[in-house]
Amino acid sequence: MSDPAQLSPSGKTALYGAAALVAAFELYAAWLGLHPSVTDSYRAYFIDQTTTCLDQPSAGAYQFGRLVSFRSGDEKASKPLRVCGWEGPVGDGLHAVGESSRLRFALPADASGLTLMLEMVAVDFAPNGIQQVSVVVNGRTLDTLIVRKGTPQRFTLAVPDTALGTDHQLDVELRYPLAIRVDPQDSNTRKRSIKLTAGQVTGIA
Amino acid sequence: MTIATEVAATPHLRSLGIPLPVVLVAIPVGFIVLGLVIRYLAYAAAVPDDSLGGFADGLCRWDCPWYVHIAERGYDPYPIPKMLGAGNWAFFPLMPMLVGVAHTLVPQPTVWVATVLSLALSTLTALIAWPLLERNLRAYTLFSAYLLAGPFSIYFTTIYTEVLFILLSTATILMLERRNYVGAGVFAGLLSATRIVGVVMAFAMLVQAFVDHRTAGRPLASFVPAVLKRPDIVLGLFLAPLGLALYIVFLQHWVGDGLAFLHVQRAWARAYGNPVVFVWDALTTWPTGSIVPTAPQQLAAAVLVGFGLSGLLAWRRQWAAASFVVICMIIPLFAGMASTLRFTAALAPLAILACLLLGRNRVVFGLSLVVFLVADYFVTVNWIGGALSLV
């Protein structure tokens, strides 16, 4: 091959033909690469990057009414509730990472009159010692909370029955508009805001 | 030059009566044994409950478990099992595929199979680099030591992808030296299935063709028509990204996103920025209460040494190798300093050039060899200890 002048015309044709085939395949691969066929949550997190929380289909197994600790030690109960946007748990709770986090609670089919309790604390380095947390349940904003640093605070929110879907799941999204980049070069998926220490859903079932 | 004439041209070998092929095999084999002993001693010093059986597992750190997982169970589907945010799609397939095949043939623990395979691939790298090392036995010895018992041998003797990357890039450059563009394209195609920057070799091949064109005194304007008249170059250039294209098609089929290997970087919290700023920030991250350079400084030093050696490659008019190395170094720098030492260490043209320079003088050669072997020990201790600059 070092002397292509020695190639016969048919040899040259074969090489050009092989090159054309390979090029066609690579064009096909490039076309595929530009046309992903993915779920909305995948697209939002990986491709459009409109969220920092990859919403995966977690079942959210939950013993209705149980107070779950999100500090280390209660992982058996807390792990199934975590969907995304969390790191830990450690001794002082589950650390939120990114601009939003999600929890999921699977509820009894006849559950109604629900109350959601979240126990949270802002990170120590929060500007002015506070963080805002918007609580969105099944796509409906329930409230925007002010969470302070120091001692964990409990927040209790009533969940309208109309917010419950047919899948009997409580999909809780916590949004952190004041989340902080610890290092200016950090990705927004590493932003810090609050630590979740406990959670509970109560009501009639 | 034939091997017989090479033996005749090497007086000490001729006087010992040892055939050159035997010497060329014996040197890396010797360093395999030496390197294993050194790294085992480092492992024994770093791990309290060390055992021979736990040796390979003990060195399997950072990305290694990801490669083991792929070799044993393949790529993650989506949704990702265990609800992890990061699928293993960022890890290119050729190395874990080879390990997976070897593991099927030899049903022993994957890490051990990978270790043996990596040692074999490193040995093969040394052997095929012989002509690129200008058939200089001292440079060859240093290069063998570098791969098998040197400061970064941990990358070339476990399940990291670097061993295959350095082998295939060495093979591609050898093919380019011989102006065998189809051969270069085949190896470059495998390279682009090994690490994403492997695709850069297509550009290096184009550079080689351009240099040859200009060296032959042909005008700039006739370059493209001249290339198109060379079916071997055309095919070689299209073969180079074929490994990447195959991986894209696989990922599209597997998770619905052919570019998942790029998109998944988001889960690794990569922040993109200016490479110059990243290097400067790393260089000026001074240690506190110690004279030991910080991990960012060590990474920045590796990058600067790499660029320095790239300059030397250019000065020696090894334009294809220089362009390959520079682009391979710059691309990861856009995502920060992470792993830049490992990436730089696995750039074959740099390692070959460094060994050529260090092998020129007998005293420098001897000192370098000692430094390589001693560094193997300490780097392995730090590897086990979790030194961030080695990730």
Residues A81 and A105: beta-carbon distance below 8 Å: yes
Share of chain B above pLDDT 90, in %: 87
Show residues of chain A in contact with B234, CB under 8 Å.
Answer: 15-16, 19
pLDDT at B191 over 60: yes
What are the b/e assignments for A22-46, b being 16+ CB within 10 Å? bbeebeebbebbeebebeebbbbbb
pLDDT at B14 over 70: no
Show residues of chain A in contact with B334, CB under 8 Å.
Answer: none
Q: Alpha-carbon distance B189 to B389, whole Å?
A: 30
- The residue among B57 and B12 whose pLDDT is bigger is B57
* CB contact residues (below 8 A), chain B span 238-267, against chain A: 238-239, 241-242, 244-246, 248-249, 252, 255-260, 263-264, 266-267
In Å, how far is A176's CA from the nearest CA of chain B?
Answer: 18
List phi, psi (to 5°) of B230.
-110, 95
In this predicted structure, what is the pLDDT of residue A114? 96
Is the minimum CB–CB distance between A61 and chain B shorter than 8 Å? no
DSSP string across B42-98: HHHHH-TT--STTHHHHH--TTHHHHHHHHHH----SSPGGG-S--GGGS-SHHHHH
What are the b/e assignments for A66-100, b being 16+ CB within 10 Å? eebbbbeeeeebbbbbbbbbbebbeebbbbbbbbb
User: Sorting pLDDT into bands at 50, 70 and 90, what band is B8?
Assistant: very low
Of the residues A13, A51, A54, the best mutation for testing chain B's interface (the one with the most B CB atoms within 10 Å of its CB) is A54
Average pLDDT, whole number, for chain B?
94
| DSSP label at residue B157 | S
The conformational region for residue A121 under phi > 0 = left, psi -120 to 50 = alpha, else beta, is beta
pLDDT at B13 over 70: no
pLDDT at A1 over 50: no
pLDDT at A58 over 90: no
pLDDT at A50 over 90: yes
Q: Alpha-carbon distance B102 to A185, whole Å?
A: 41
In this predicted structure, what is the pLDDT of residue B333? 96
pLDDT (tens digit per residue) in B342-356 = 999 999 999 999 999
Side-chain-side CA neighbours of residue B263 (13 Å): 26
Q: Is A5 exposed, middle or buried (0-12, 13-18, 19+ CB in 10 A)?
A: exposed
In this predicted structure, what is the pLDDT of residue B11? 56
DSSP string across B352-384: HHHHHHHTSSHHHHHHHHHHHHHHHHHHHHHHH
pLDDT (tens digit per residue) in A101-128 = 999 999 999 999 999 999 999 999 999 9
pLDDT (tens digit per residue) in B315-337 = 999 999 999 999 999 999 999 99
Q: Alpha-carbon distance B369 to B196, whole Å?
A: 32
- The residue among A75 and B271 whose pLDDT is bigger is A75
Q: Alpha-carbon distance A186 to A183, whole Å?
A: 5
Average pLDDT, whole number, for chain A?
94
In this predicted structure, what is the pLDDT of residue A82? 94
The stretch B5-29 carries a mean pLDDT of 77
pLDDT (tens digit per residue) in B86-142 = 889 999 999 999 999 999 999 999 999 999 999 999 999 999 999 999 999 999 999
| CB-based contact A57 B257, cutoff 8 Å | no
Which token pair is A95?
Answer: 């650390």
B186 three-class SS: helix
pLDDT at A2 over 80: no
Q: Give the C-alpha distances (Å, rounded to integers) separating B220 from A17, B212, B216, B223, B231.
A: 27, 11, 11, 6, 19
| CB-based contact A16 B235, cutoff 8 Å | yes
Nearest to B375 by CA among B385, B383, B363: B383
pLDDT at B6 over 80: no
Which token pair is A151?
Answer: 């001692």
Residues B118 and B32: beta-carbon distance below 8 Å: no
pLDDT (tens digit per residue) in A146-204 = 999 999 999 999 999 999 888 899 999 999 999 999 988 788 999 999 999 999 999 99
pLDDT (tens digit per residue) in B357-387 = 999 999 999 999 999 999 999 999 999 999 9
List phi, psi (to 5°) of A97.
-125, 135
